DNA sequence: CTGAAAAAAGGACATTTGTCCCGCTCAAAA
DNA sequence: TTTTGAGCGGGACAAATGTCCTTTTTTCAG
C-alpha cells in the first residue's frame, strides 16, 4: 500500500557512491512539492528516504491519490519516455530525500546497462500490475472492506497518513471515511 | 478509450513476416477467452486485429474492466517480468487475432534489439500513464460526465460495446448506467 | 505562550447508486 | 419453427455517499 522497490534502491545508492558527480540529491520537507502536474523536469527521481504521494488534481478541486511511495520508487520516469508535462503531482508526506538522475544519464544507463534496463522494465510492469487489482477492489467492495484492507497491508496507516490523504486515496469524501471508520470501531466493540 | 499502439503493431507485423516460424498466430471468436486470471502462458501476445477487454473478476462476482484494447496492444507481458499467474483475464469483445511471441524470443528481442526494447518500455509507460487520469476522472466526476467523456473519446462506444461491459468499465451497476443514460437522453431533448 | 489555521469528528439532509424485481426483444440452438 | 437464454430497460425501495455546516482538537509560526 506504501510501495517500495528494494532492488532499485540498491542500484540508486550504488550509483550515488560510484558516480557522485553525475547525479544529485535533494531534500524536501513535509508537504513540499517534488513535482507539479504539467511541469517538466530534466531528471528522473528515485526516492532514497521518506514517503511521497503521487496524485492528480482535477479541475473541480478534487484530488485522487494514485499511490503512496517510499524507498526505491521512481518518480518522473513517464516524462522521460514521452516528453510533456508530468501526469501527476508528487509531494512529500514525510520529509523526503530524492536522487535525481539527469535524463541524459538515464538514457545512457537504459541503453548500456542491461541490469538497469531490466530494473526499469520491472519497475514499470510493477506499477501497471499494482493498479489493476487496486482499482478493481476499490470499486467492487464496500468502503469498510477497503479500509480493512489498508490496515492489513499497512497497519499504521491511520497514524502515518493524514485522513484527507486516505480519503483521496480511497476516492471518497472525508465525511464518508469518518463514517466508515466509526462503523468499524463500533463493530469491533461488539 | 479503446487503446492502440501503432508502432508496436508495425513491429509485430514485420516480425511475423521476417520470422514466421518463431511466432504463432491464433484467432479467437467473440467472447472467447484469450487469457484467464491466474493462469500461465508461455508467450506474450500482441493484438493484430479486433477488440479485447482486460478485466479482473472479484470473489464477490463483480468484474472490473481495466481497459479495452485493440491493434498493437500487448497482453500477458506482465507475466513475463514476474512469473506467476496472469493478473487479469483477457477476452474477445469482437473476433480477435493475436500474435504470440514465445517468452524466449521475447527475452532475446528485449536484450538484443534496442528498438524493440524501447517499444516495450514505452508501451509499459503508456499503460501506467493511461490509468492515472482515467481513475482520477472516474472517482472525481459524476457518472453522466464519465459517459460523456467516453462518447468524446470513442463516439461509437454504445454501438460496439455491450452495456454490461460499459458498466463494468465505469465501475457501476448496469442499472445505474441505464439511469444515467436516460438522464443524458432527456437532457439532450431540452 | 498565544492566536490563527489546519485537521478531525460528526449532525442533518440531499443525491446517487445498488439491489431485486419484472417484462420485453432478439438471436442462436434444438 | 419453436424455444431458450442473454441483453436491455426501468419501477420501487434500501443503502451508501456527498454536501454543507458546526464544534473541537492539534499544530505551528510569531
Helix and strand totals (H; E) in chain B: 8, 9
Is A117 in Cβ contact with B87 (below 8 Å)?
no
pLDDT reported for residue A83: 83
Q: How confident is the model at residue B134 (pLDDT cuts 50, 70, 90)?
A: very high
Residue A140 CB contacts under 8 Å (≥ 6 apart), including other chains: B58, B60, B62, B64
Mean pLDDT of all residues in A114-140: 97
Residue matched to cell numbers 484530488? A63
- Based on DSSP, count helices (H) and strands (E) in chain A, helices before strands: 8, 9
* SS3 state at A151: helix
DSSP A124-169: HHHHHHHHHHHHHHHHHS-HHHHHHHHHHH-TTHHHHS-HHHHHHH
d(CA A39, CA A46): 18
Query: Strand D-proximal residues, CB under 7 Å?
Result: A 30, 142-143, 171-173, 175-176, 179-180; B 162-164, 174-175, 178, 181-182
User: A129 — contact with chain B (CB < 8 Å)?
Assistant: yes
Residue B187: pLDDT over 90:
no
The whole-number pLDDT of residue A86 equals: 95
The larger pLDDT score, comparing residue B42 to residue A190, is at B42
pLDDT tens digits, residue range B83-93?
889 999 999 99
pLDDT tier for residue B25 given thresholds of 50, 70 and 90: very high
Is it the case that residue B19 has pLDDT exceeding 70?
yes
- Tell me which chain A residue has its CA closest to the CA of residue B59: A140
Residue of B nearest to A87 (CA): B129
* Helix, strand, coil shares, percent, chain B, to 5: 50, 25, 30
* Chain A span 169-188 residues with beta carbon within 7 Å of strand C: 174-175, 178, 181-182
Nucleotides of D under 7 A from a protein CB: 7-12, 16-21, 28
Mean pLDDT for B48-71 is 96
Query: What's the average model confidence in pLDDT over A155-164?
Result: 96
Residue A84 scores a pLDDT above 90: no
* The pLDDT of residue A155: 95
Question: What average pLDDT does the segment B144-151 reach?
Answer: 97
Confidence at residue B188, expressed as pLDDT on a 0 to 100 scale: 82
pLDDT of residue B83: 83
Residue with CA nearest C1' of nucleotide D15 = A142
* Separation between Cα atoms, residue A109 and residue A82, nearest integer Å: 17
Helical segments of B82-154, H only: 103-112, 114-140, 143-153
Instruction: Report chain A residues whose CB lies below 8 A from the CB of B62.
Output: 139-140
- Residue B161's alpha-carbon distances to A9, B53, B63, B171, in angstroms, are 43, 10, 15, 15
In the structure, what pLDDT confidence band is assigned to residue B32 with cuts at 50, 70 and 90? very high
CA at A103, C1' at D27: how many angstroms apart? 39
Inter-chain touch A124–B121, beta carbons under 8 Å: yes
* Residue A137 pLDDT exceeds 80: yes
Nearest nucleotide (CA of A29 to C1'): D28
Average pLDDT over residues B130-152: 97
Is the CB of A111 inside 8 Å of chain B's CB atoms?
A: yes
Instruction: Kindly state the average pLDDT of the residues A137-146.
Output: 97
The answer, for B151 touching chain A at a CB cutoff of 8 Å, is no
Cβ–Cβ contact A155 with B under 8 A: no
Where does the pLDDT of residue A178 fall: very low under 50, low under 70, confident under 90, or very high at 90 and above?
Answer: very high
Global pTM exceeds 0.75: yes
The reply to whether B139 touches chain A by the CB within 8 Å rule is yes
Q: What does pLDDT average to over chain B?
A: 96
pLDDT band at A190 (very low <50, low <70, confident <90, very high): low
The per-residue pLDDT for range A17-50, each reduced to its tens digit, is: 999 999 999 999 999 999 999 999 999 999 999 9
Nucleotide nearest to B170 (CA to C1'): C17
Kindly state the average pLDDT of the residues B43-70: 97
Collect all residues of chain A within an 8 Å Cβ-Cβ radius of residue B87.
Answer: 129, 132-133
| Chain B residue whose CA is closest to A170 | B139
Q: Report the distance separating Cα A52 and Cα A41, nearest Å.
A: 17
Within chain A, strands assigned E span 2-3, 24-28, 33-35, 43-49, 52-57, 63-69, 74-75, 89-92, 96-102
Q: What's the pLDDT score for residue B162?
A: 97
Q: Quote the distance between the C-alpha of residue A100 and its chain's center.
A: 16
Amino acid at each position: 500500500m506504501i510501495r517500495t522497490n528494494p532492488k532499485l534502491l540498491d542500484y540508486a545508492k550504488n550509483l550515488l557512491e560510484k558516480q557522485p558527480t553525475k547525479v544529485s540529491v535533494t531534500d524536501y520537507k513535509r508537504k513540499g512539492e517534488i513535482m507539479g502536474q504539467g511541469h517538466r523536469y530534466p531528471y528522473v527521481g528515485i526516492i532514497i528516504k521518506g514517503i511521497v504521494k503521487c496524485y492528480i488534481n482535477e479541475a473541480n478541486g478534487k484530488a485522487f491519490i494514485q499511490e503512496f511511495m517510499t524507498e526505491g520508487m521512481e518518480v518522473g520516469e513517464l516524462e522521460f519516455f514521452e516528453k510533456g508535462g508530468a501526469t501527476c503531482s508528487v509531494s512529500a508526506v514525510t520529509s523526503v530525500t530524492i536522487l535525481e538522475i539527469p535524463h541524459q544519464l538515464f538514457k545512457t544507463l537504459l541503453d548500456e546497462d542491461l541490469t538497469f534496463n531490466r530494473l526499469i522494465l520491472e519497475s514499470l510492469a510493477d506499477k501497471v500490475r499494482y493498479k489493476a487489482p487496486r482499482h478493481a477492489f476499490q470499486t467492487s467492495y464496500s468502503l469498510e472492506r477497503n479500509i480493512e484492507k489498508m490496515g492489513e497491508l499497512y497497519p499504521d496507516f491511520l497514524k502515518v497518513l493524514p485522513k484527507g490523504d486516505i480519503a483521496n486515496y480511497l476516492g471518497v469524501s472525508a465525511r464518508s471515511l469518518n463514517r466508515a471508520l466509526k462503523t468499524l470501531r463500533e463493530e469491533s466493540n461488539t
